[in-house]
């Protein structure tokens, strides 16, 4: 009887031991990699050439109002984060190509910026632009200022137009006409840099 009693206790204990829940776990690492996308592309107008042929152009300049598409630069930005775009000239003056002693003040070149007609974003929501026609300078000037939480996006949203002028005296450009400045005939050049700056 005693053996039977011990056997029943052993069977009960073994059942109790096997009936306990077994805890186990597995580790699953999860990671997220965000690659930076910052791309500025000049779509058209990558070379602006003003040719002054008439006394009228010497007097009133070229592209007053900025509507002539020959003097417009279209560029787009694809960015994974909010951004600004700055613009500056490489030199402090436009230098003559025929003579090393001739130069033209940069502020004879002016520009303004707007969203391109093909942009899918609303300019008043996504970006701030300079308000008036500004003169070209060798100092980097913010020309597209992204508004927080709105400017990041694809090239279809961030599509911009620079409208260039020469000698029109608009905004804060040089107030003297090209004729009044009596500039030496030459081909004057400089490079202009557009820089995409993440916020």
Task: Write out pLDDT tens, residues 49-75.
Answer: 999 999 999 999 999 999 999 999 999
Of 101, 116, 91, which Cα lies nearest the Cα of 189? 91
Enter the pTM of the model: 0.82
Of 95, 113, 133, 110, which Cα lies nearest the Cα of 61? 110
**Whole-angstrom distance, CA of residue 20 vs CA of residue 12:** 13
Task: Write out pLDDT tens, residues 144-156.
Answer: 987 766 678 888 8
Higher per-residue pLDDT: 151 or 190: 190
DSSP per-residue codes, the chain: -HHHHHHHHHHHHHHHHHTS-----------------EEEEEEE--S------SHHHHHH-B-TTS--GGGEEEEEEEESS-EEEEEEESSSEEEESS-TT-EEEGGGEEEEEEE-TT-SS-HHHHEE--SS-EE--SS-EEEEEEPTTTS-B-TTTSEEEEEEEES---TTS-SS-HHHHTPPSS-EE--EEEEEEE-
């Amino acid at each position: 009887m005693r053996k039977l009693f011990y056997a029943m206790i052993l069977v009960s204990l073994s059942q109790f031991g096997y009936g306990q829940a077994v805890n186990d776990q597995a580790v699953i690492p999860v990671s997220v990699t965000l690659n930076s996308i910052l791309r500025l592309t000049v779509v058209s107008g990558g070379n602006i050439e003003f040719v002054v042929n008439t006394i009228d152009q010497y007097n009133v300049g070229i592209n007053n109002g900025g509507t002539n598409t020959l003097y417009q630069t279209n560029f787009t930005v694809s960015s994974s984060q909010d951004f600004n775009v700055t613009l500056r000239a490489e030199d402090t003056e436009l230098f003559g190509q025929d003579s090393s002693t001739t130069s033209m003040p940069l502020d004879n070149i002016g520009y303004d910026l707007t969203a391109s007609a093909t942009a899918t974003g609303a300019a008043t929501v996504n970006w701030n632009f300079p308000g008036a026609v500004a003169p070209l300078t060798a100092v980097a000037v913010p020309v597209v200022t992204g508004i927080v939480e709105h400017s990041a996006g694809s090239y279809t949203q961030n599509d911009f137009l620079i409208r260039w002028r020469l000698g029109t005296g608009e905004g804060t450009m040089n107030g003297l006409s090209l004729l009044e400045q009596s500039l030496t005939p030459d081909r004057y050049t400089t490079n202009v840099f557009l820089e995409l700056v993440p916020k």
